[in-house]
C-alpha cells in the first residue's frame, strides 16, 4: 500500500470543499435570476392564491 502524505490529503479535501461551496453559491445565484424572470413561477403563485381564496 502506498503512503500518501497527510498534507496532500488536507489539500485535496480543502479543494473539494471549496468546489462544493462554489457550486452551491453559483446554483443559488442562477436560481434567483431564473425565478425573477420566470413567468411560469408567477402563474403558479397566482393559481395558489386563487385556491386559497376559495
Domain ranges in the chain are 6-53
Q: How many CB atoms lie within 10 A of CB 5?
A: 8
Going by pLDDT thresholds of 50, 70 and 90, the confidence category of residue 2 is low
Predicted local distance difference test score (pLDDT) of residue 37: 62
- Please indicate whether residue 2 or residue 19 has the higher confidence score (pLDDT): 19
Per-residue model confidence as pLDDT tens digits over 11-53:
999 999 999 999 998 888 777 776 666 666 667 777 777 777 7
Dihedrals phi, psi of 4, to nearest 5 degrees: -105, 130
Predicted local distance difference test score (pLDDT) of residue 8: 92
- Judge whether 7 and 13 are in contact, CB under 8 Å: no
Residue 27 CA to residue 16 CA, distance in Å, equals 17
Residue 30 CA to residue 23 CA, distance in Å, equals 10
Predicted local distance difference test score (pLDDT) of residue 30: 76
Residue 14 CA to residue 28 CA, distance in Å, equals 21
Amino acid at each position: 500500500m502506498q503512503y500518501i502524505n497527510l498534507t496532500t490529503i488536507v489539500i485535496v479535501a480543502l479543494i473539494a470543499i471549496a468546489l462544493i461551496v462554489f457550486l452551491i453559491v453559483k446554483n443559488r445565484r442562477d436560481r434567483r435570476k431564473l425565478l425573477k424572470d420566470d413567468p411560469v413561477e408567477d402563474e403558479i403563485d397566482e393559481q395558489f392564491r386563487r385556491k386559497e381564496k376559495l
